[in-house]
Amino acid sequence: MPILSQSNPQRARSRIPWVAAGVVTLLFGMVAAFGTVQNMPEPVFVKTVVESLALPAAPEDKNAGRIFFREDRFQRGDTISTLLERLEVDDQQAERLLRSREATHPFRLLRPGTTVQARTAEDGSLLSMWFIGGREQLISIEGAGEGFTTSEQPVELTRHIQMKSGEIKSSLFAATDDAGLSDNVAIQIADMFAGDIDFHRDLRRGDKFTVVYEMFDHLGRPVKSGRVLAAEFINQKKSYRAVWFQDKEGHGGYYTPEGKNLRKAFLRSPLEFSRITSGFAMRLHPILQKWRAHRGIDYGAPTGTRVKATSDGVVAFAGRQGGYGNMVVLRHGGGVTTVYGHLSRFANGIRKGTRVGQGEVVGFVGQTGLATGPHLHYEFRVNNQYRNPLTVAFPAARPVAPERIAAFRLVAEPLAARLDLLASTNLALLE
């Protein structure tokens, strides 16, 4: 039985004879079934829906010949030729066209990570091929007479809500990979809890997360993930929960299900969280915290990693200073200053007097000054007294306004109920 979603590359390459018109109709039918979920929907489990969808045998049209449908991801290091080979397209004219370097050629928008679909005839000649480009454009080439036509047209993506959970075994990205979540979702999880959890230093084996997020489909296939609507992160046995809520003007943020703001005056970590830094800097065992003697926190990270202002502030110093090498000092409210040392370079416009917002890049990791390898040295001082930024309590931004709390509950309660549901499912599985 042909199956729509193929995570197994062996299966993905098996020949699936489809009569194209019949298939397209069927897929649109499925999209319509998902298309009922709009606005702030009741989140639904759809994790396995696409995967388990079995197609009925396509009606055989003896005159049309057999049509093959395949898909594969365009990967880093791929060329058009290697991609076509995996798609079992054997068509020199199509290959020449796709390899042309004309500036107007729509396939120039093909980026690594993009899923490409192709329809071919039995002899491998290309009938059509398409993918979804950056600005939600459906980019396709289609056989037309002796040649091909190319087109770019907007696609209407169908939104639905998906829910997944995972457990940290080695890193957040390894866990999100296991759960089939995109990097986009992993980074949103790290960002939404950035006021409570330092994802470079606080994660431990056995930490768990549950995430409710938007997924966009095209022709019934998940093509990209959207915003995280709710999440729970259990870090060192402590549970943190967040739901997304937007005010009437469209400004959104993450709140606890009780309406407290998740945004804190300071980020826990000044280091940009990415697949690279998570592998580089995350430790899954308690860290020997030498900050008392050292008076700062060191974050190992590759040279060039972005360093972010942990809070709104003004640059008090940006320049070279002894063992610190290239250093930025930010002055914040309440007598707090933060220090960022050993930078390879400063971000554009960072000089004495510049105002920066929380999360804004002030510089890049390096090993200037007294440093044996690339790392960031970070200090947190209150009235010039050194404090441990991993343990100091940070004030939260404003909670949901009292006049909005009723509207907030309408959004938050069903989302929190979903988190409860999965949390209890997980517990049942553990028992």
Q: Are strands 336-343 and 361-364 parallel, antiparallel or unpaired?
A: unpaired
Residue 30 φ/ψ region, left for φ over 0, alpha for ψ in the -120 to 50 degree band, beta for the rest: alpha
Cβ of residue 364: shortest distance to Zn ion, in angstroms? 16
Q: Which is nearer to Zn ion, 185 or 327 (CB)?
A: 327
Measured CA to CA, the distance from residue 161 to residue 322 in angstroms comes to 52
Other beta carbons within 10 Å of 48: 9
Cβ of residue 382: shortest distance to Zn ion, in angstroms? 19
Residue whose beta carbon is closest to Zn ion: 377
Q: Which is nearer to Zn ion, 206 or 373 (CB)?
A: 373
Q: Which is nearer to Zn ion, 196 or 298 (CB)?
A: 298
The token pair at 378 is 């970070």
Instruction: Please name the residues in contact with 283: beta carbons below 8 A apart, sequence gap of 6 or more.
Output: 201
Cβ of residue 408: shortest distance to Zn ion, in angstroms? 42
Measured CA to CA, the distance from residue 208 to residue 331 in angstroms comes to 36
Note the residues at the interface with Zn ion (CB under 5 A): 296, 298, 377
Q: Collect contacts of 6-10 with beta carbons under 8 A, ≥24 apart.
A: 6/71, 7/51, 7/180, 9/72
Q: Which residue has the tokens 């500036």?
A: 103
Q: Which is nearer to Zn ion, 293 or 430 (CB)?
A: 293
Cβ of residue 300: shortest distance to Zn ion, in angstroms? 10
Q: Which is nearer to Zn ion, 143 or 296 (CB)?
A: 296
Cβ of residue 343: shortest distance to Zn ion, in angstroms? 12
Measured CA to CA, the distance from residue 189 to residue 192 in angstroms comes to 5
Instruction: Please name the residues in contact with 43: beta carbons below 8 A apart, sequence gap of 6 or more.
Output: 161, 162, 163, 212, 229, 230, 414, 415, 418
Q: Which is nearer to Zn ion, 66 or 295 (CB)?
A: 295
